[in-house]
A = this chain, B = another copy of it.
Amino acid sequence: MEKFTLPPPFDRLPASELRHVSFPESRLVFQQGATPYELFFVTEGAVILERHTEAGQKVVLHRATAGDLIAEASLFSDSYHCDCMAQANTGLATLNKSAVLKRMAEDTTFAMLLLKRLARQVQRYRRQLELRSVFPASDRVMAGILDGWLNGTVLAFANDLGLSHEATYRALATLVAQGRLHKVGRGKYVVPPP
């Protein structure tokens, strides 16, 4: 976590605004209802965001892993709307909320880049949701590949698609058998030319 650099546009903020913190498993990072003073980047491990309902039950809203930004919405809110708990030994980089707000107001470019980041993220989520409504699995896998989701491991790919990795492997095998994909190595597949 020494050489950690923030994703744009946060890399434009002075390092003095940045703080690194570590949390052991199950440690609460922030609590629902608390006043938000910071945003967080997950640099290592993972955190779970969960909300407590009136009836006393819990719902997991999101699981964020290394590279993810969390609590952006708290920029516009006076309280955290969920709990955040470290799921494992987790490293977080924290940014002062008011410093970010100030910078957004003063630096139009900064605000614009932040907007861009969020717009892209929205786009990505929409595509992912669209993918998950594709059936059956082999079509979803094909669509996922055509849309460039298979860059890392098949495991991660399967996770993005919302399929078990076994189902994903089977779908891949089927597609290869049908000639809709070519296998070019362990876990590597390409779309054959028309």
Binding site for B on A (CB under 8 A): 51, 53-57, 59-63, 72-73, 75-76, 104-105, 108, 111-112, 114-116, 118-123, 125-130, 132-133, 143, 146-147, 162, 191-194
Chain A contact residues: over half helix, strand or loop, or mixed?
helix
CB distance from A74 to the nearest CB of B (A): 9
**With the chains together, A122 CA to B123 CA distance in Å?**
9
Chain B residues within an 8 Å CB radius of A54: 191
In the complex, the chain B residue whose C-beta lies closest to that of A194 is: B56
Counting chain B CB atoms within 10 Å of each CB, the highest count among A61, A116, A118 belongs to: A118
A119:B162 contact, CB within 8 angstroms: no
**With the chains together, A194 CA to B57 CA distance in Å?**
9
**With the chains together, A60 CA to B127 CA distance in Å?**
8
In the complex, the chain B residue whose C-beta lies closest to that of A180 is: B57
Point out the residue from B53, B111, B194 that lies within 8 Å of A104, measured CB to CB.
B111
Chain B residues within an 8 Å CB radius of A147: 51, 59, 61
Chain B residues within an 8 Å CB radius of A75: 115-116, 119
A129:B119 contact, CB within 8 angstroms: no
B130:A128 contact, CB within 8 angstroms: no
Chain B residues within an 8 Å CB radius of A72: 119, 122-123
Known: A73-B122, A132-B132. 17 other contacts (CB 8 A): A55-B192, A57-B191, A59-B143, A60-B143, A61-B130, A72-B123, A73-B123, A75-B115, A75-B119, A76-B119, A76-B120, A104-B108, A118-B121, A118-B122, A122-B125, A125-B125, A125-B126
